Amino acid sequence: MKIEFEIECTPEEARKFFGLPDVVPMQEKLMAELQERLEENIRAVSAEELIKTWMPATMQGFGEMQKMFWQQMGMQNPTAKKKADDA
């Protein structure tokens, strides 16, 4: 025997029926706090600061990659050759 019930109700009505707590005020407070923190962080970080933070690591990584490329090709590192010539 198979019995099916189809109940139409809103999520709020279902929560009340099953005795679950109303979490809407907590969610609203949490979302307001999250939005405030996000806006504060966006104001604190400028594009110039991001570039200053990311650029040195990127350029250093690029330099290391270039050195590895020259070594793999069996060529001498051109920057090392210039430094040796200058000395």
Joined together, the tokens standing for residue 19 give 């005795």
Of 51, 33, 53, the C-alpha closest to 41 is: 33
Q: Any idea where the domains of the chain sit in the sequence?
A: 8-44, 56-87
- Per the structure block, which two tokens stand in for 22? 């109303």
Q: How far apart are CA 80 and CA 54, in angstroms?
A: 25
Model confidence at 84, pLDDT cuts 50, 70, 90, reads: low
Q: Is the CB of residue 9 less than 8 Å from the CB of residue 17?
A: yes
**Dihedral sign, CA of 62, 67, 68, 69?**
positive
Tokens of 68: 């590895």
Q: Indicate the pTM of the whole model.
A: 0.42
- Each residue's pLDDT tens digit, 5-38: 898 999 889 999 999 998 889 999 999 999 999 9
